[in-house]
Amino acid sequence: MHGAHAGNENGRSIGIQNEGTFTSVAPPDALYSALVGSCAYICQ
């Protein structure tokens, strides 16, 4: 499956989506912690 987030870079990049509009409120702590954990895992 190919995403459209990075054009022709799908083989060398990732896309992470967090559902919600966080312009006036912060994301829930559980969502933020899961995002940080996922990014740390991917960067290893």
pTM of the model: 0.64
The larger pLDDT score, comparing residue 2 to residue 42, is at 42
* d(C-alpha 14, C-alpha 10), whole Å: 7
Cβ pair 19, 42 in contact under 8 A: no
What confidence score (pLDDT) does residue 18 get?
86
Which of 2, 9, 22, 6 lies closest to 35 in space, CA to CA? 22
Residue pair 15/43 in contact (Cβ under 8 Å)? The answer is no
pLDDT at 3: 60
Residue, of 8 and 40, whose pLDDT is higher: 40
Percentage of residues of the chain with pLDDT beyond 70: 82
pLDDT at 43 over 70: yes
